[in-house]
Structure 1
């Protein structure tokens, strides 16, 4: 087990330690939480049951006390009547207050029975839960006391009902019954007090048991915590010691390697953790370095020889490069002049292309304007034709109006005749027809004005018909002129379209010329750029050749220095 633990990775060791400690913490926390929840549930259950129990018990005690008061009032009235030698209490002639007392006694009795049933349920509920032997015994004692109390209350209620159901009872018997009922009531009160005291004792016992459980849970939690801390400390010490010993081995080997001792001996290490892997990798690195240093020694000697040869060759190359650079500069000057000429041609072609493009744009705009005028004139012709139709329709309608006016004139003439006849009849009637004569005159006057207005309207309608006829004639002439204008505009549009096509062809040719000139300029520019690059690179090559020659001497010196440095390492 210990060997397996040593072979674990450092991360796995630390992770296993952390996991184990976390597991201990979770166990302790879960146990504490479980005990706390159990204790809280018990206390909540106790508080709820106790409050309910005490509430119901107090209610039963209160109702029982009220019932005793009502019974005492009824008995006092019975005694008073007996002493006054009145009729029997239940002969039907008693006052209303006695009936009211009996109703109150019955109501409180029913309330007490309901409270006793609730107490019985609470006791059964307490017995259904798990408790210790002591608490369960207290609950059983409470149930026994409750059963006795319940029997006494039932017996007391039965005696009260029997007493009030009897008739013609002597005063001595009444007094005896009253004393007996009072003793039973005192016994019931004592048992209620005893029952409530038992509930309080039960509560104290449960609280004491809960405190014991809490104390036991705290002790167990402390023990678990101490054990977890002890185990975690031991594991942490073991892991730290194992890591420290292995790291010291790795540090010792690394110090020897850093001092140049590549022949250091590595002790066989079988550990599979990171430190063991590091030692094995250091051993492989040492072996690799020994091989590399051997090759470096051989290579440095060969480099020294090659550096001398390279220095001689680069001197000759530098001379040839300088001659080549002079010829390339002359070529670059000629190409620059050619590029300038081509750019001038391209510039002129662009100017011509822009001019033809502007002319094409103007022709296109003229074509669009003529098209718009043609469309406007066509729209105008359509509008004038529509207006002519409307005016013609208006002339027809005015003819209809004239016929209607003829009818109105005829009606006005008939109205005038009727008014004249009415005036004649009114004159025959004498004094009785004076009012009717006035109305007849007004009607005749209205008929005359209607006739005059009708004639005026007829005159206006004839003038309107004449003007409408003239308008239709003029609009027909306008339509003819507009149609001729549309034809001419169409011809102008076709001419502008031909002009635009010709200008577009010229523009296309100019663009082709400009494009060809630009391509020639681009090619010449590329050639010029390439020649310049070649010239620049040739110059750089010349400089680099001189630099290589210089560095060849430096390389020879470095090879000698490298040989001296390699000799410092121990490889045997």
Structure 2
């Protein structure tokens, strides 16, 4: 009597495994879309900080330049005009004292009104404490100078020549010199303030350049690192999965379990793939063992066809067992088919996630465009500052031209004073020749000569002041040109930052291409999954045929126990089907 032993492998149900995978999926920390959004958020956060700091510093620089152009330069120019009008007042009062012509008093009064206006302007513009004190001193000295001038005019009207000449040599001269000294001190203070503000502005421009440069480099490096790691975390598992599915399609089930660290949709997909390969490996092994057992049973039934009814009953029992085994295999194939369907659903979910990734990347591209527009606005502001500096340079150049015109005018005054002195000398000679009759005329000629010398001396002082103004104006032109050069450098660095934004835009384009490649890989996985499903359907059909044949054999055995030929025929048919099943299963390597 022949005995048979069947080895039925236990496999967890698909429903139980599906619940386990779903629970694991709930533990995912970061999805692919969240990873992309997080990476781009870090990059654009850094660029937002850079843009904010740059805008703040540019506003500060712009205010400093406005302070220089609107306050410091006008104050220095006003002080220089102040000194010129004081000389005009002195010349007006001296001309009146010398000639008695009231037109000189009109010039004196006009210069006085302009000087009062300049003092009022300085009181409003000079915000520095030391400058305000000097302006108050200038105002007091001008009041003193005017009072002395009024006293000289009164003495002139009274024809007290000795008294007003003494005032001119003492009080008026001292007040004028002290006024000039105080005005020079004010000019020096304002020039020092102008120099300090220019240095602060240059330092601020350098700070902006360094911030934009370093931050742009850091953002580029960070963007490259984020793109590399995100791309690697997506492409590497997908490539491993594609390789595994390709081997499964070729019948190789011997590869080990894939191990990845992803806690996202891709990690869930790899887990499902490992489960599918494991189930296929168990199923193919079970089919192989069962087909071998079925083939052996067929041979034994053929050898036992001449035995007694007991042997026939045993064959019927074996056939029924084969039917049950084959039906079990058929049920397992149905479960495998459900598993493959679930894997296809997982691939579709990954495809949807890839589409979300592509949408997030396109949004990042839009944000990069906005960042580029912000940098362009910064470039435009730097150009506006450059234009303002150029205008200030033109104003200072115009001041230099006015100083040259004043120098020419002073030269004319000096020439007239020399001629007046020569005429006074000739008049003195003629008076000496006239003897006693010319003494009075000689005194007048001597006074005229003294006044001419004073006029020449005043003209020389004015010439010195004009030369000083021209020198200081040239220094101001040089300082403004240096500031203009620094603004040009800042403009160049800002344009470099704009180029860095364009490079980041290119890097994002590369990420979009890689996401497209991932979509193509997922489509390939879907095609391979369909092929596996077709293979499983083929095996399922063969199993159904086995069930049908086994059922026919069992029925024939029960109905015709005495007819061993039909039993032998059924056994041969069963053996043939088992060989076909072994041929199909042999394609798989476990």
Q: TM-score, structure 2 length as denominator?
A: 0.42
Computing the radius of gyration over CA atoms, which structure comes out larger, 1 or 2? 1
Report 1 or 2 for greater relative contact order, CA contacts < 8 Å, sequence distance ≥ 6.
2
Scaled by the length of structure 1, the TM-score of the pair is: 0.43
